[in-house]
Every structure is written in C-alpha cells, then in structure tokens.
Amino acid sequence: MPPLAIQTEDLGRIYKIRGSKKEKKIRKELTALADVNLQIETGELFGLLGPNGAGKTTLIKILTTLLAPTSGRARVAGLDVVDAAAKVRPLINMVSGGESSGYGLLTVRENLWMFSQFYGVPSKEAYRRIDDLLKRVGIFDRRHTKSSDLSTGLRQKMNIVRGFMTDPDVLFLDEPTLGLDVGASREVRALIREWVDDRSGNVRRTLLLTTHYMVEADELCDRVAIINQGRVLACDTPSALKQRLQKDAIFEVETSPLNGLTAQTIEDLPEVRKATAEEHDGGATLNLILVEENALAHVVNIFTQKNVRILKLSKREPTLEDVFVDLVGRSMADVEKGGEDAKE
C-alpha cells in the first residue's frame, strides 16, 4: 500500500512580529496554524477551503519545504519536509494564483522549457508536454509571445502549465484561478480534474488545492478541509459536509431595505441557528438556517414588525457556504472583511 501523499501531525506555525520603534522590546505572536492534522491519500484531489488569511498558504509553504513549522511534523510522499527537504522537492511542484514568475524577455515556450530543465525533463519530452498543455488551456497561439507582453490572465495560465508540465507526484495549487475570468477558470478546473483522474502508466497523482471559492471546492474536490484562523474545523467529502445540515431548513430571502434590522437580531431568535445578511442598493439578501421549517413564520413576523417587505423567498439545499457559516458563525465574505484571521 503506498504511503500517504500528505500527512501532518499537530502542525503549527507562529510568526514573531516586531513592535514599533517605541516598542522595540515588545514582540507579538501571530498564530497562522494550530494543531493541524491531515491525512491525504495518494491519488486524491484534496481541497483546503477558507477565507484569505485562514492559514492555507502558510500550510502549503510548509508542505513544499519553503517554510519550517514551529511545532508538529509534516510528510509528503512519506518524507519529512524538514529532515528530507532535498528529497521532497523533486517530487512536487507548486503554483500560486497571481504570481508573476518567469522572465519577461523570454517567450512563453522558452520560459516553460527553462523551468522543465530545473527538473531534468529531456528537452524533446518537455516541448511535447508544453505544447500539449498550452493547447489545453487555450494559449498555444501565444507560445512565441514574450511573457512580459501577456495579460495577467494569460500569464497565470502560463504559470499553471508550469505546474503540470513536470508531472509531479504531488502538485500544490494555491488559489490557481485567482484573477481568471469564468471561461479561463473553467478550462483550468477541467485540466485539474483530468490530470488527477489520468491513470495511464499506473500513476496515481495527488493534488492539493487551496481556494476560497465554494463552487470550485464543491465541483472539484474528493474531500475538503474547511480552515479558519489556522485551525481545521471540518474535513470530509463535500456531500458529507453538506449532509450535516440536511436536517435544517435553509432559506434565501430577498427584502426591501432592512430599516435597522440586523442578521444578529434574527439570529438571536431561538428558532434560528444562523443568519447572514448582505445589504445592497434597494434592499438586502439574507440566508437563514432554521431549526425547523415552521420557524419561518416567526421570522416573517419580525420582518413585518420592522416594515421590511419580502420580495422573494426560496428554500434551497445546503451548500458549502452554509457549512462554513454553521462552523464559523459568519459568511466567508464577512470573515474576510473583518480581517480577524491570521495572515498567511
């Protein structure tokens, strides 16, 4: 039986932050990761789902030997990422969304060939892989374009090709679709799923994806770990995570302006488990997780008392966003706005 592709044991990372000049002796600590325990099987497409600042990037940096943990241990392909870092690196590759890698004076094809040589890929095989992958992400016609002349989206596609072309045992993609339009994101997601599912040559590939896009995690991942403030709050298949809320009644309500009514006021009702509200021009959209469907009548009365009109009311199936709200108490967007999470 092959070893686990990735394993962490009580993994932690604390950053030391220097104070201001007036506080030279004061050093603050910021916990980016705390007691993270994960087991990721070989051949799995595993997702880390959480807001910006949750600790996702810190975890990937540790697993790719770029950052040492403060506590605990981590193994990739059965190898300790600290003690055997030199042996881990040839087996992995990493791409981060929004990064500007490569040399601007080199063309797309030249940049990718150069990276392939760092991994010892024979030139003939490297060019074959490069051309195939460029076609699959829709930028083969830009292969002779200098990377400095590419748009942000096209440069990100080039970076994604760089991750796949070395055919690593374990590939780490940190927010790979960040900054891509809908069509480009769809192409990248298709490539991700095809690469993991490809069993030619009896190779089982593992991919760790970090994202804060709920749909991306739900669509792609075999299992998902929800992470917030450096802690893993839940880990299971997307369907199993959503089933935990199956017994609850979940409603989306579009209303006129809330007239001072808040999500917290609604959530304080005994019949309401969680409530989030997003106000916009002309009204608001609320998502409610109720203890039971009959509780909706009491919530409607609260709207009426505040002279808030209900424009649209619909019951829906649970989503990963609902799971996140249930675990954290706020939507992912609210967490990111609040800026309370550990920096990555």
pLDDT exceeds 60 at position 99: yes
Tokens of 298: 């009491």
Alpha-carbon distance 253 to 256, whole Å? 10
pTM equals: 0.83
Q: What does the pLDDT average to over 62-83?
A: 96
pLDDT exceeds 70 at position 342: no
Q: What does the pLDDT average to over 67-86?
A: 96
Q: What is the pLDDT of residue 24?
A: 60
Q: What is the strand order of the sheet 206-211 is part of?
A: 92-96, 170-174, 206-211, 45-49, 223-228, 231-236
Residue 71 — pLDDT band, cuts 50, 70, 90?
A: very high
How does the average pLDDT of the chain come out, rounded?
89
**Model confidence pLDDT, tens digit, residues 161-193:** 999 999 999 999 999 988 888 888 898 899 999
**Model confidence pLDDT, tens digit, residues 219-271:** 999 999 999 999 999 999 999 999 888 777 899 999 999 998 999 999 999 98
Alpha-carbon distance 249 to 237, whole Å? 21
**Model confidence pLDDT, tens digit, residues 19-35:** 666 666 656 888 999 99
User: Could you say which DSSP state residue 295 is in?
Assistant: G
Alpha helices in the chain (DSSP H): 56-63, 85-88, 108-118, 123-136, 152-165, 182-197, 214-220, 238-243, 263-267, 296-305, 320-328, 332-338
Cβ(187)–Cβ(160) below 8 Å: no
